[in-house]
Amino acid sequence: MISFEESETLKKLQAVVREVAIQRMRPISRYFDEHEGEIPWDYVAFMHEAMKTMGAASLVPQVEGNKVQPPNYVMLAHTIETLSWGDAGIYLCTPRGGLGAAAVEANGTAEQRDKFLGRLSGDKPVFTAMAITEAQAGSENSAIQCRAVFDAQSQEWVLNGEKIFVTAGHKALVDTPGFVVVWATIDPEAGRAGIRSFVIEAGTRGIQVTRQDKKLGIRASDTVTLTLQECRVPANHLLGEVKLAGKASPKGFKGAMQTFNVTRPLVAASALGIARAALDEMTRLLTESGVEIRVGMPRQKMSYVEGEVIDMQRTLRAAWLLTLKAAWLSDEGQPNALEAAMCKLMAGEVVTRVTQKAVEILGPVGYSRTYLLEKWLRDAKINDIYEGTGQINRLVAARLLLGYRGSELR
């Protein structure tokens, strides 16, 4: 059975991570929000070294021989929540992981995991990314047009297309010896059945960053457009078992989607870290102004502000418990597609509402740049968009609850 008791190991790790959030993230939060495109290299270098000693073995995949030990996802959720409480954009600059690593862990062969994940614990910081979205293919992945064609003579895949809104794409391909996992189709007529995932390493010819986006929030994290022109990758960079050159990867699209069952609870944890930051700061400012939040009072005897704060605390706690369940199921090797979709949906709604209410309740103080509340409001919204919008996760949850296939409930 799932236990909500925190182990001594987790408590010690949380104490360290909280100090990182307070001492290393909050002081530079405003600067990197205002200087989008700059990378907090001091933070990156510190975390790369610190993770060697602060329990990182539980936070990133560990390669042992030809086996990969996945992270402890409950511990990772706690860590991400606290780092995002510090600053969500800077948290996204933490090395040794990312969507690309999660995709390899979920879908790669033992050899691929050893090759690509083994470098995460090397001497230099490494970033990974995953490129899915295209101009005509956002939530509807079956519309992907990035094409992968197998060249039997060279035993290589040749990729052509463009990917947009790639989180950490610049860091993965330009700033560090990382890699990006690109979703492409080997058969455009097959829809989702033709989609495969390919690992493209930094330094590969034919892939380049062609645009760096300006964003509403999480500005410390780079978001880029990638253009692929005759980009050649070895046959064994197709994620999954390749029995016949150009034919396999038996998991296909379904295997690629398994990545999200792992990462959506982690995105939810990040969202809830932002929400907790806003709630903590709002409560502090209200207390300093002489506003008391009385707990346990009948609702009709509470002030409007008290009622709103209690509701914010309640929804935040409920979303966190659901997120922990989804992460725990991953740790137990149990199916968690429903819980992953539900916690991502709920966290996206909660963080949007909590940050907006915090700014609203504090009025001009919350809206001003004196405090970070307005920044957290801007950081919040992306959590309801990336890795499956709220609408898509609601649809996923409905299909799983009602037993419908994708073609039956759209």
CATH code, 44:
1.10.540.10
Q: Are residues 272 and 167 in the same domain?
A: no
Boundary (domain end) residue, out of 97, 121, 145: 121
Q: Pick the residue with more confidence: 378 or 254?
A: 378
Domain for residue 192, yes or no? yes
Q: Which residues pair with 68 in a beta bridge?
A: 63
pLDDT tens for 206-229 read 999 999 999 999 999 999 999 999
Asked if 209 contacts 225 with a C-beta cutoff of 8 angstroms, the reply is yes
Per-residue pLDDT at 231 exceeds 50:
yes
Tell me the two tokens of residue 151. 């060249």
Say yes or no to pLDDT of 68 above 90. Answer: no
Instruction: Characterise 334 by phi-psi region: left (phi > 0), alpha (psi -120 to 50), beta (else).
Output: beta
Q: What confidence tens digit (pLDDT) does each residue in 104-141 have?
A: 988 888 889 889 988 887 888 999 999 999 999 887 77
Q: Is 407 part of a structural domain of the chain?
A: no
Contact at 8 Å (CB) between 180 and 130?
yes
- The answer to whether residue 55 scores a pLDDT higher than 60 is no
Residue 220, both tokens: 């410390």
Residue 285 domain flag: yes
Verify that 268 and 396 share a domain, yes or no.
Answer: yes
Strand 223-234 with 147-151, pairing: unpaired
Residues 132 and 113 in one domain: no
* pLDDT (average), residues 6-23: 91
Question: Where among 199, 221, 252 does a domain terminate?
Answer: 252
Last residue of a domain, one of 252, 267, 290: 252
Q: Which domain holds residue 162?
A: 128-252
CB atoms under 10 Å from CB of 318, counted, come to 12
Instruction: Check whether residue 202 and residue 151 sit in a common domain.
Output: yes
- Looking at the structure, tell me whether residues 108 and 45 fall in a common domain: yes
Q: Is 332 among the catalytic positions?
A: no
**51-60, 191-200, 309-318, 319-328: lowest mean pLDDT where?**
51-60
Percent of the chain beyond pLDDT 90?
A: 71
Hey, how many other C-beta atoms are within 10 angstroms of the C-beta on 313? 16
Q: Do the domain assignments include residue 90?
A: yes
- Which tens digit of pLDDT belongs to each residue from 357-388? 999 999 999 999 999 999 999 999 999 999 88
Residues 362 and 294 in one domain: yes
Residue 215: CATH number of its domain? 2.40.110.10
Is 195 a member of any domain?
A: yes
pLDDT (tens digit per residue) in 296-354:
888 888 899 999 999 999 999 999 999 999 999 999 999 999 999 999 999 999 999 99
Indicate whether 239 and 266 sit together in one domain: no
Tell me what pLDDT residue 26 has.
98
Domain match, 182 and 283 both? no
In a domain, 409, yes or no: no
User: Residues 197, 171: one domain?
Assistant: yes
Please report whether residue 241 resides in a domain.
Answer: yes
Q: Which residues contact 205 (CB under 8 A, 6 or more apart)?
A: 231, 232
Q: Find the catalytic residue in 201, 339, 374, 387.
A: 387
Q: For the domain that residue 368 is a member of, what is the CATH number?
A: 1.20.140.10
Looking at the structure of the chain, the number of domains it has is 3
* Count of residues in the chain: 410
Same domain as 110, residue 18: yes
**Same domain, yes or no, for 395 and 276?**
yes
Structure tokens that stand for 15 in this block: 């104490």
Strands 195-201 and 179-185: antiparallel
Are 112 and 166 within one domain? no
Report the predicted TM-score, pTM, of the whole model to 2 decimal places.
0.94
225 lies in some domain: yes
In terms of C-beta density within 10 A (0-12 exposed, 13-18 middle, 19 or more buried), how is residue 13 classed?
buried
